[in-house]
Structure 1
């Protein structure tokens, strides 16, 4: 879709008159408050909310409705926020008059930046197939009416303009380059200026309503800038804010967000919940000394909660759709599939405390035995409670797939540039990722992993299609950002666990050219690990039965220090002197040409114990 950037947005000037309006011969008043998209195109709008039906009917992305700033209102109107709608209530005598001005913006340049922001948050990659109005409707609407949120939005738009000028074909390759000289560019300086101004305004007049939106926008800004340490800080504050909202006894904080805030909070919580696992592996500093989300973990301790109980609170937030009923034989829409899939995914959280129990029972956190990890997997596989949950989940996933595939096949036979085609591919990738990696009873023996080879192959095929579409359609690198996509991490897991060497190589090469930025994952770091794993696989295959080789591979571990810029990789290697397999630890700094990066040996950080022990030290809330 082409977004026009040569016109100022339409704003409103409200005044109150004490005289009775003159009656006209028309039976209805003339529409003057249509959506932004219709105004830009100079066509009549039916004012349906949250999406104008005129835009939907013509396959255009509705940009929402321009609302006047409260400070410029001369009547006693009241701003109301209801999760996905922005409305204005005013006395009957108040009349609206369109004014072509730029009162919401400092100058024409900021208008261009704001339009650039709209293109970023409405790109198909950012939501990774999920149909969330947060990106397409809510954030653009709130940014038009809220000074602080608008400055954050303009900062993202300016940064997007800067990124587009650097002549890189992907966000991943751009963020890895040395752009210090380019940071003197006016667009970059304007981006930082608006970002700092938004931070300053938030510190001066804190509002939980603003914080909900700013937590997402600040995270997007720092991720686009490649500052993963600052991005970790924003994840930390976002999670701490959500914990405060969800554990507030009288719900006063929640009520201060909006009259009906819970569907909105649910969407934001889903985003941060998906980012939470990344913070356990990506450290802000060095191993053992730098918890990535200290405010959040401190809040968990103070509230006597664990990560699992926090996730349970997130899943209890009412959504903007009713609870799912019995699964029909065939699903009617991609929205229906998304709802059933999310419900089933959330139900599997019951397995988390059982996994922590298995970790504690085996003594893995204090053992330096090279075989200890395989014993943990054996205990997990043998636990009847874990097995029951996983078997029930597998049954539900198979039923969901049967109901989804007719819909999926229709979607992929449509135009490859259509929204349904791209969304169906992403949703299928989410489903395959769940089927492939979430059943933890399949990892102790090698046969169940080998049986997943067709799933690995299909995932790689769809991932290649998705990446090709992104490179073709997303010309601005900023549009390749997503806080909800997990494709890079799944490609890495395939490169690690798949037993077909050719498929492992394919996953590795897809990682090397991966265009997107998935949360705070560093795709270059993941590629570096996957490429190093080829050496580990070759050494491991030199001796032993398939099950012995597999159990040695289960001892592999990895962590990311300094926000993902340094990689730690642990694995078993045969000592040629003693003939024993011993643990080795290597590190690499992710800088420069990937294939020229060298790995360096160092003594094991945890004295031969699993790195998991240091993670638990930083995350005691996992097991308490």
Structure 2
């Protein structure tokens, strides 16, 4: 692809218009200010932006300036081109309309407050075809909630809908996923009807239109909005993965990231992503953060642990990213909300060092490959973790559980959707503690395992911890609001599955298999509950057959 021009394309006449002698105002939305046009100051979204196909980025408030961190993270090299260099903060500082299925936003969100106080969903479709309108309505009411997994994720529930009004290929991808979702829902019934086939054909038709529109968009000669095609890549990945085409899904995102590097003038062969505890602040940061989390999952799914894998983990993953993070973090004594708690446990599980969740998942997948008779690349020795690194991570994990238990205590009486999300996050934290206590997938320099001592003190034994995880797992999975469909982010599939590598108790093994079966056909990121339930059954059968010899 040719490089974008050094000077942004200007659609208005070059001749400077004479300004009327009227007083200037500073209360317009951020998008209109950037475009230097008069804003109608509509709330929650500027109607002028919507009418002309722009994403309205909301209004500046004193609160938004107050919570902005003093030191910015250098996420990626700054772009050269002014038209794509600075995008306004994505978060309109207005109170979101509350609906029964969304999270309670009464809490003050600290630095993340601006990200999750978002406006109500757009109330009208950007197209007028009756059939398209029907699918778009389904997308708004069902698909976005499924993608977010019941979480109040503004990327899916607000800004994706805004993007549908800006770019036709985003709109067509929304119709694609809506039709795909309707087809899958019918297939989960007692029979496959002609209606299901119609939805499937419509989905493929819209997907083809989306790819064609993306190619035309990039070949148009105008500077593309980098946020739009990054968002499109996520939607394409979701569609292809749900179709069972993981390799195609990965290739699509790789191609998008290659184009992203070209537009951002990134000369290195990979994208270096610095993980941070603070929540992303701009739409581009949010999408890149989503891709980074997806990248890590994809790497774990495809990775094979090598015999020479000692103190360091492989950093470059399937999408061509290098993940970096600080060696340690300061865990607060209390979490203001479940989003903050999830942010911290994600760091402890996947981004910080040592990466115990990564070790455990790679160990589990390697074990499955061995049972299936696949050739492995050396013995499974596991990483050798220095004693101080283990101690630091254990202290952080213990602090996390203390803060998380306080949050659960506040949420439990209300039993809202936020409480249901908090239970899933707690399971993730317990899985981390279990992996550390049982040393699943790694070795320690010292014989003293304080994680095991913590488990014995708090739960009585490893069995007690496993029983607590299974109990919480049943509460989550058997809840009527639990979504048995595709959700984008980390969930509890692998957390429940990893119990098999901490115990050989047949009763616990059977309970683990049953919970995974009860989750079907749910998919989380790159993890499929049906596939993992089958793998769990295979592991249990193999153990029984070995024990009988």
TM-score category (smaller protein): 0.5 to 0.7
Q: Which residue of 2 aligns with 1:414?
A: 414
Q: Which residue of 1 aligns with 2:249?
A: 234
Q: Which residue of 1 aligns with 2:162?
A: 141
1:505 aligned residue (507, 510, 524): 510
C-alpha RMSD over aligned residues: 5.0
2:425 aligned residue (424, 427, 432): 427
Could you tell me the TM-score, scaled by structure 1's length?
0.55
Once residues 405 and 86 of structure 1 are traced to their aligned partners in structure 2, the CA distance between those partners, rounded to angstroms, is 27
Q: Offset of 1:235 from its aligned partner?
A: 2.1
Q: 1:84 to 1:474 in 2, by over 3 A?
A: closer
Is it true that 1:271 corresponds to 2:294 in the alignment? Answer: yes
2:340 aligned residue (336, 341, 345): 336
Q: Offset of 1:401 from its aligned partner?
A: 0.8
Aligned positions of 1:342-353 closer than 5 A: 342-349=346-353
Once residues 499 and 324 of structure 2 are traced to their aligned partners in structure 1, the CA distance between those partners, rounded to angstroms, is 32
Q: 1:192 to 1:332 in 2, by over 3 A?
A: same
Is it true that 1:205 corresponds to 2:217 in the alignment? Answer: yes
8 Å contact kept, 1:50–1:137: no
8 Å contact kept, 2:186–2:196: no
Aligned positions of 1:155-194 closer than 5 A: 155-166=176-187, 168=189, 179=192, 184-185=197-198, 187-194=199-206
Q: Which residue of 2 aligns with 1:532?
A: 538
Is it true that 1:455 corresponds to 2:455 in the alignment? Answer: no
Q: 1:131 to 1:310 in 2, by over 3 A?
A: farther
Partner-residue secondary structure (3-state), 2:428: helix
8 Å contact kept, 2:164–2:174: yes
Say which one has the larger Rg.
Answer: 1
Q: Which has the higher contact order (CA 8 A, sep 6+)?
A: 1
Q: Which residue of 2 aligns with 1:401?
A: 401
Q: Deviations over 1:93-128 (max 9, x none)?
A: xxxxxxx996x31412212211211234432x5345
8 Å contact kept, 2:295–2:317: no
Partner-residue secondary structure (3-state), 2:136: helix
8 Å contact kept, 1:324–1:339: no
8 Å contact kept, 2:292–2:321: no
Q: Deviations over 1:195-225 (max 9, x none)?
A: 111012223333554431122112222344x
Partner-residue secondary structure (3-state), 1:485: coil
Q: 1:243 to 1:58 in 2, by over 3 A?
A: same
Q: Which has the higher strand share?
A: 1
Once residues 419 and 152 of structure 2 are traced to their aligned partners in structure 1, the CA distance between those partners, rounded to angstroms, is 14
8 Å contact kept, 1:390–1:441: no
8 Å contact kept, 2:231–2:287: no
Once residues 200 and 208 of structure 2 are traced to their aligned partners in structure 1, the CA distance between those partners, rounded to angstroms, is 12
8 Å contact kept, 1:269–1:314: no
Q: 1:260 to 1:106 in 2, by over 3 A?
A: closer
Q: Which residue of 2 aligns with 1:577?
A: none
1:308 aligned residue (300, 307, 315): 315
Is it true that 1:468 corresponds to 2:488 in the alignment? Answer: no
Aligned positions of 1:37-436 closer than 5 A: 50=91, 53-56=94-97, 104-123=126-145, 126-128=147-149, 132-166=153-187, 168=189, 179=192, 184-185=197-198, 187-206=199-218, 208-224=226-242, 227-228=243-244, 230-239=245-254, 241-242=256-257, 245=260, 250-251=265-266, 261-280=284-303, 307-309=314-316, 315-316=323-324, 326-349=330-353, 376-377=380-381, 380=383, 383=384, 385-415=385-415, 418-436=416-434
Q: 1:248 to 1:394 in 2, by over 3 A?
A: farther
Once residues 119 and 324 of structure 1 are traced to their aligned partners in structure 2, the CA distance between those partners, rounded to angstroms, is 40
Once residues 106 and 146 of structure 1 are traced to their aligned partners in structure 2, the CA distance between those partners, rounded to angstroms, is 15
8 Å contact kept, 1:159–1:191: yes
Q: Which ranges in structure 2 are unaligned for 5 or more consecutive residues? A: 1-16, 29-38, 47-57, 60-89, 104-114, 219-223, 272-280, 305-312, 364-368, 370-375, 444-448
Once residues 420 and 506 of structure 1 are traced to their aligned partners in structure 2, the CA distance between those partners, rounded to angstroms, is 26
Q: Deviations over 1:29-73 (max 9, x none)?
A: 98645459xxxxxxxxxx7673674435676859xxxxxxxxxxx
Aligned positions of 1:568-583 closer than 5 A: 574=549
Equivalenced residue count is 416
Partner-residue secondary structure (3-state), 2:536: helix
Q: Deviations over 1:545-569 (max 9, x none)?
A: xxxxxxxxxxxxxxxxxxxxxxxxx
8 Å contact kept, 1:491–1:511: yes
Could you tell me the TM-score, scaled by structure 2's length?
0.61
8 Å contact kept, 1:496–1:504: no
Q: Offset of 1:541 from its aligned partner?
A: 3.2
Q: Which residue of 2 aligns with 1:10?
A: none
Q: 1:423 to 1:496 in 2, by over 3 A?
A: same
Q: 1:308 to 1:424 in 2, by over 3 A?
A: same
Q: 1:535 to 1:146 in 2, by over 3 A?
A: same
Once residues 402 and 540 of structure 1 are traced to their aligned partners in structure 2, the CA distance between those partners, rounded to angstroms, is 41
Q: 1:313 to 1:528 in 2, by over 3 A?
A: closer
Partner-residue secondary structure (3-state), 2:519: coil
Once residues 422 and 487 of structure 2 are traced to their aligned partners in structure 1, the CA distance between those partners, rounded to angstroms, is 17
Once residues 264 and 517 of structure 1 are traced to their aligned partners in structure 2, the CA distance between those partners, rounded to angstroms, is 20
Q: Offset of 1:316 from its aligned partner?
A: 4.7
